[in-house]
Chain A
Amino acid sequence: MSTASVRPHRKRRLSAKLRTSIVLGYLLLVALAIVYIYPFLISIASSLKTNDDATANPLNLLPETWSFAAYDRLFTEVPLPTWTMNSFIVTLFVTFGRVFFDSLAGYALSRLNFPGRSFVFAAFLAVLSVPAVVLLIPRFLVLQQLGLYDTYGGMIIPLLADAAGIFIMKQFFDSIPAGVEEAARIDGAGIFRTFWSIVLPMARPALVTLLILSFQGSWNEFAHFVVSRQSTELNTLTTGVASLVSGQLGEGNQYPLRLAAAVLMTIPVAVLFFVFQKRIMNSTEGAEKG
């Protein structure tokens, strides 16, 4: 831009070429955006179709006859309300647990001098490199030994703190100047009070990032709930909808029903995404810079 204003003649020479490339670029991007968005639009549309309509006209964005049968069945034949409740219970506990425990630990690792600090931090870093999928069998073994298998406790407690979140919080606290706390300490505030009422409010951006990531992560979590429970009453939306995919649902392929479930379970994360859109786009950016 600045180049253009400094050398106006150059701008004119480039503009024809630039215009074609801009138009072509737009066409390509719009085509790609359609590819990315269309699956979601088809899902919503098909969830409102009849079985036959969904099968016969997979690309139509408008149902031949509008049918709310799929949604109706989700609330009558399928225990969707129970799954939803379980998902909310687990997600709320995990989200607030993570935000609290991760910021406590992150603060200590960033600001408090205690013997063994660098060892603890190194241990958390090491843990970060354990691939999640390798933990499926181990988690089951321990939950069974502790009598937590097939309970809310077993589904929630293992997810209450995570090395990644601790790392994010520590990095954020590292970036806050120490002066503010020192003033508070001199005034005689205890360490927890300083943390709780002075440092934590300053960490709002990082807390919101962690909140979003934890909510999304635990709402979408699937594998952990496959190995930590077996009762159908403890199904979350992810394991519940998975049982719809493999289960017997009566005649036909029942795609409207499955898609309706997929649509409903996407709503909370979609809302979260659109509310915090700016923050999400920036959080990954900040993280990468870190």
Chain B
Amino acid sequence: MAKRSGIRSNESVAGWLFTLPAILIVGVFLAVPVLMALWVSFSDWNGLGPPVGGRAQFVGAENYADVLTEEGLAQRDFGTSIRNNLYYVLLVVPLQTALALFLAVQVNRRVLKGRGFFRTAFYFPSVTSSVAITVVFLFLFTASGAVNSILGWLGINGPNWFNDPSGVLHNLFAVFGWTSPGPLGATGPLGLTWWDWLSGPSVAMCALITLAVFTTSGTFMLLFLAALQNIGTEIDEAASIDGAGAFRKFFSVTLPMLKPTLFTVLTLGLIGTWQVFDQIYLTGGGSPGKTTLTPAFLAYQTSFEDLRWGRGAAIAFILFAIIVALTLLQRRILRDRDEKPKRRRRGIDGDPHDGATAQAVTRLNAGAGGAP
């Protein structure tokens, strides 16, 4: 008995000693900083002196009001960044998910020769750093670059991608002769006119959207591939014997079974696309004409360049709130549709934390593409 309780107390000490380094590192460089930044977002700290306990004054929700409700440049910049990122999310998430799923189904085919080669080819962009791949894309999308050369073969006069601030939807409207805002010139949410909200992603942003789809589809392809391999071949074969065609088989047999993975990929996509920063930094900090500005970059710029730390921190927390809200919303949808609640173990230890590991892996993997 005595020995047993000795082991128990040993375990208590060891348990804390083993976790202490990680707790310290995560606590000091993650938890504490977040609380500190939360305070800064309610203060007028200008970067001089210590942010806590120095001359910085509490200013209430002023920094939040500056970007959310107060009319002015700060609000318009924030509104612009939200608009840009919204279009980015709306295009990147469906495209990367569909492409990843398509690639996974293709490279999962048993009859396919050279599966390893194709998997490698599609996954490789996900391994490279965001910096390297952005440099490559800047080169591919120059006015006389590779992409425009190929468009030239097809008789299309390609745009000057990264220098073209015009909105894609505006350009489309112009085709039908609709070039002036008209009644849409009225101011809408966040200080932007309705006309501005309807601009669509700029041509420059479209190049960044291509970049994101290119770099993340491989990672998500692996997630789908794993799920497909879990399904195994029996069900697939059963469906074939029943005479289901390839398309019907995919939509009525495979896709429903992939639902959990599909939701994981959509969540990770949503989280990742709201965080795009590296590519914006590298392509000129929102240029051309602020049409590639994102909230993540705006928070950085407001703090580190304009030295309005409080406002920058406030933008970061609004972004945090957006991401958390979307994740919760997605979770709720997932829970409603979860067909096997029994598989969920009880208690925090057993919480499978929907795709948390996948999220972890993807985040660690994120290098490129802004998937976190």
Q: Which of B138, B227, B359 contacts A245 (CB 8 A)?
A: B138
Give complex CA distance A195, B27 in Å.
24
Interface stretch of the complex, out of B74-82, B183-191, B345-353? B345-353
List B contacts of A16 (CB < 8 A). Answer: none
Any A CB within 8 A of the CB of B176: no
List A contacts of B372 (CB < 8 A). Answer: 131-133
Residue of chain A at shortest CB distance from B34 = A138
The residues in A between 31 and 81 inclusive whose CB is less than 8 angstroms from any CB of B are 32-33, 36-37, 39-40, 42-43, 46, 54-56, 58-59
Residue of chain A at shortest CB distance from B260 = A288
Give complex CA distance A129, B264 in Å.
14
Given contacts A217-B367, A238-B129, contact A258 B361 (CB under 8 A): no
Cβ-defined contact, A108 with B14, below 8 A:
yes
Any B CB within 8 A of the CB of A105: yes
List A contacts of B356 (CB < 8 A). Answer: 125, 128, 167
Give complex CA distance A187, B149 in Å.
72
Give complex CA distance A102, B21 in Å.
9
Give complex CA distance A157, B29 in Å.
8
Give complex CA distance A118, B351 in Å.
11
Cβ-defined contact, B127 with A273, below 8 A:
yes
Cβ-defined contact, A105 with B22, below 8 A:
yes
Cβ-defined contact, A164 with B320, below 8 A:
no
List B contacts of A90 (CB < 8 A). Answer: none
Give complex CA distance A288, B29 in Å.
28
Any A CB within 8 A of the CB of B33: yes
Any B CB within 8 A of the CB of A101: yes
Q: Which of A18, A139, A166, A273 contacts B33 (CB 8 A)?
A: A139
Give complex CA distance A101, B243 in Å.
54
Cβ-defined contact, A39 with B140, below 8 A:
yes
Cβ-defined contact, A289 with B226, below 8 A:
yes
Cβ-defined contact, B142 with A58, below 8 A:
yes
The residues in B between 71 and 116 inclusive whose CB is less than 8 angstroms from any CB of A are 103, 106-107, 109-112, 116
List B contacts of A128 (CB < 8 A). Answer: 353, 356, 359-360
Cβ-defined contact, B237 with A3, below 8 A:
yes
List B contacts of A112 (CB < 8 A). Answer: 11, 14-15, 18
Any A CB within 8 A of the CB of B28: yes
Residue of chain B at shortest CB distance from A194 = B14
Cβ-defined contact, A42 with B135, below 8 A:
no
The residues in A between 243 and 290 inclusive whose CB is less than 8 angstroms from any CB of B are 245-246, 253, 255, 258-259, 261-263, 265-266, 269-270, 273, 277, 280-281, 283-290
Any A CB within 8 A of the CB of B165: no
Any A CB within 8 A of the CB of B313: yes
Interface stretch of the complex, out of B166-174, B200-208, B295-303, B334-342? B295-303
Interface range for B: 35 or more
Query: Chain A nearest CB: distance from B21 CB in Å?
Result: 5
Cβ-defined contact, B129 with A266, below 8 A:
yes
Interface string of B305-326 (1 = CB under 8 A from A): 0000100110011011001100
List A contacts of B50 (CB < 8 A). Answer: 145
Cβ-defined contact, A168 with B357, below 8 A:
yes
Given contacts A216-B364, A284-B222, contact A43 B26 (CB under 8 A): no
Q: Which of A40, A108, A217, A280 contacts B366 (CB 8 A)?
A: A217
Cβ-defined contact, A141 with B37, below 8 A:
yes
Any A CB within 8 A of the CB of B122: yes
Query: Chain B nearest CB: distance from A82 CB in Å?
Result: 16
Interface centre among B31, B121, B304, B368 (most CB of A within 10 A): B121
Any B CB within 8 A of the CB of A25: yes
Cβ-defined contact, A108 with B222, below 8 A:
no
Cβ-defined contact, A163 with B26, below 8 A:
yes
Cβ-defined contact, A171 with B364, below 8 A:
no
Give complex CA distance A191, B116 in Å.
42
Interface string of A95-129 (1 = CB under 8 A from B): 00000011011011100111111101110110111
Some 10 contacts from A to B, beta carbons below 8 A apart, are A25-B109, A108-B15, A134-B316, A136-B300, A145-B50, A163-B360, A220-B131, A281-B123, A284-B219, A287-B360
| Complex A-B, nearest 10 residue pairs according to Cβ-Cβ distance, in ascending order | A114-B15, A164-B360, A138-B33, A220-B367, A108-B18, A220-B129, A158-B29, A285-B226, A138-B37, A105-B22
